[in-house]
Amino acid sequence: SQKIEQNSEALNIQEGKTATLTCNYTNYSPAYLQWYRQDPGRGPVFLLLIRENEKEKRKERLKVTFDTTLKQSLFHITASQPADSATYLCALGNTNAGKSTFGDGTTLTVKP
């Protein structure tokens, strides 16, 4: 069955460092992969989408890579700030199925 694993439930880093979150998947061939941010008590907020033919995508301090051979995506936040503290979810989607499948998330804490 399809499985999505996000590295460790929690990640703690120091302000100014680069946070790297991992999303691994098995038994899936996604056409695209998404990353979301979720704050407590709120719905997820869409950050970035990367397609299977794209290796890397950037948006401000965010960078996403997508390796379909390794079946892995890496999500980087550079120059991290305490305000980046949240849970980050990855989700895999396909063009022949509207629904996306979500990982359980990684909770990032950036300490001042």
98 binds other proteins (CB under 8 A): yes
Q: Which range, of 11-19, 55-63, 71-79, 102-110, touches other proteins by CB under 8 A?
A: 102-110
Of the candidates 19, 23, 25, 36, which one interacts with other proteins according to CB under 8 A? Answer: 36
28 binds other proteins (CB under 8 A): no
Of the candidates 13, 49, 62, 74, which one interacts with other proteins according to CB under 8 A? Answer: 49
3-state secondary structure the chain: CCEEEECCCEEEEECCCCEEEEEEEECCCCCEEEEEEECCCCCCEEEEEEECCCCEEEECCEEEEEECCCCEEEEEECCCCHHHCEEEEEEEEECCEEEEEECCCEEEEEEC
